[in-house]
C-alpha cells in the first residue's frame, strides 16, 4: 500500500517506521508549508493519507482527501467541535475518513474494560470515580482526547447520571453528580490514563501507560489498511473488531 504522511514530527516519523515495517511505501510528506500542487500530487499518488498534524488543519486535509478521493486517517486531536460538520461533508461527498483520539489498540481495549467495570460498580451506593491523564508539556489540548473519550463513554454508560467536570471547582465542593477529570503536564511523558474507583471497602485503579509513540503509529497503519476500499466516516473504536480481523493484501 502507498501511504502519504501529513505532518512529519515525532508521530509522523513513527508512522513511517510502522508502515515500512508492514511492507508499505511512503509516497511523500505534506507539511504546513507544502504548496497546494505538491499536496495534490502526494494525495493522488497515495492509497491512503495519515494525518498527525494539527487540529486547525484538519478541515483542509479532509477537503484535500475528498478532492482526490483518497482515504484519510485522522490522528490529530482537538477538532471535536468540527466533527459533526466534517462527518456530514464526508458523507455527502462519498468520502472515506477514519478518526480516533488515540490509535493505540491497547488503549481502545482499556477504554472498553474500564467503562464496563465502572458502570457496574457505580450502581452500588458509596462508590465514586475520577479520571486522570498525564502527558508531555508540549501537548496542545487538555484534557486529552482519550480522557474525553473515557469520560464521554462513562457518562453514556451511566445515562448521564454523572457528568465529567474539568477543571475541578475552585470555589466549591464537587457535586455528587459530577466526577473530576484531572490533567498533568510534565516532561516528555508519552501518555498515561488512569481510572480510579473508590468504594466503601475497596479501591480499584486501572491504568494504561504508553511506552512510546509506536503503538499509536501501528494502530493508525492498521486502520489505513482497513479503510482502503470503503467509504464513510468511521470512529476507530467502533470498527476495531473488524480492523483486527482484516487481512491486508501483500
Q: Which three cell numbers stand for residue 103?
A: 490509535
Catalytic residues: 135, 139
The pLDDT, as a whole number, for residue 250 is 44
Mean pLDDT by 10 residues, the chain (250 residues): 95 96 97 94 98 94 97 92 95 97 92 96 96 93 91 95 90 93 95 97 96 94 96 94 70
Sheet-wide strand order for 25-30: 25-30, 2-6, 48-51, 72-74, 96-99, 232-235
> What is the Cα–Cα distance from 83 to 98, expressed in whole angstroms?
12
Which pLDDT tens digit goes with each residue over 89-127? 999 999 999 999 889 999 999 999 999 999 999 999 999
* Beta carbons of 3 and 21 less than 8 angstroms apart: no
Domain extent listing, the chain: 2-103+213-245, 105-209
CATH 3.30.360.10 matches 105-209: yes
Query: How many Cβ atoms from other residues are within 10 Å of residue 119's Cβ?
Result: 16
The pLDDT, as a whole number, for residue 246 is 67
Cα 239 from chain centre: 13
List 2's β-bridge partners, or say none: 25
The pLDDT, as a whole number, for residue 80 is 86
Residues of 44-60 as b/e, b for ≥16 C-beta within 10 angstroms?
eebbbbbbbbbbebbee
Q: Please give the CATH architecture assigned to the domain spanning 2-103+213-245.
A: 3-Layer(aba) Sandwich (3.40)
The pLDDT, as a whole number, for residue 177 is 93
> Would you say the CATH fold of 105-209 matches that of 2-103+213-245?
no
The pLDDT, as a whole number, for residue 119 is 96
Amino acid at each position: 500500500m502507498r501511504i502519504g504522511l501529513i505532518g512529519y514530527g515525532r508521530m509522523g516519523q513513527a508512522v513511517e517506521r510502522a508502515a515500512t515495517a508492514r511492507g508499505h511505501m511512503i509516497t511523500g510528506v505534506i507539511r504546513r508549508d507544502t504548496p497546494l500542487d505538491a499536496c495534490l500530487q502526494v494525495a493522488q499518488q497515495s492509497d491512503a493519507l495519515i494525518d498527525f498534524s494539527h487540529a486547525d488543519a484538519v478541515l483542509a486535509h479532509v477537503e484535500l482527501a475528498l478532492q482526490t478521493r483518497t482515504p484519510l486517517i485522522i490522528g490529530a486531536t482537538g477538532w471535536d467541535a468540527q466533527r459533526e460538520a466534517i462527518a456530514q461533508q464526508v458523507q455527502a461527498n462519498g468520502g472515506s475518513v477514519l478518526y480516533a483520539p488515540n490509535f493505540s489498540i491497547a488503549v481502545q481495549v482499556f477504554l472498553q474494560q474500564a467503562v464496563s467495570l465502572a458502570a457496574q460498580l457505580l450502581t452500588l451506593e458509596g462508590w465514586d470515580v475520577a479520571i486522570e491523564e498525564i502527558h508531555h508539556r508540549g501537548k496542545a489540548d487538555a484534557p486529552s482526547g482519550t480522557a474525553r473519550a473515557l469520560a464521554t463513554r462513562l457518562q453514556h454508560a451511566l445515562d448521564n447520571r454523572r457528568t465529567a467536570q474539568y477543571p475541578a471547582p475552585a470555589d466549591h465542593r464537587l457535586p455528587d453528580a459530577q466526577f473530576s477529570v484531572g490533567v498533568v503536564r510534565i516532561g516528555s511523558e508519552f501518555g498515561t490514563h488512569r481510572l480510579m474507583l473508590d468504594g466503601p471497602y475497596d479501591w480499584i485503579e486501572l491504568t494504561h501507560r504508553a511506552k512510546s509513540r509506536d503503538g499509536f503509529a501501528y494502530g493508525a497503519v492498521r486502520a489505513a489498511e482497513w479503510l482502503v476500499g470503503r467509504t464513510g466516516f468511521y470512529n476507530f473504536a467502533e470498527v476495531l473488531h473488524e480492523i483486527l480481523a482484516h487481512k491486508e493484501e501483500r
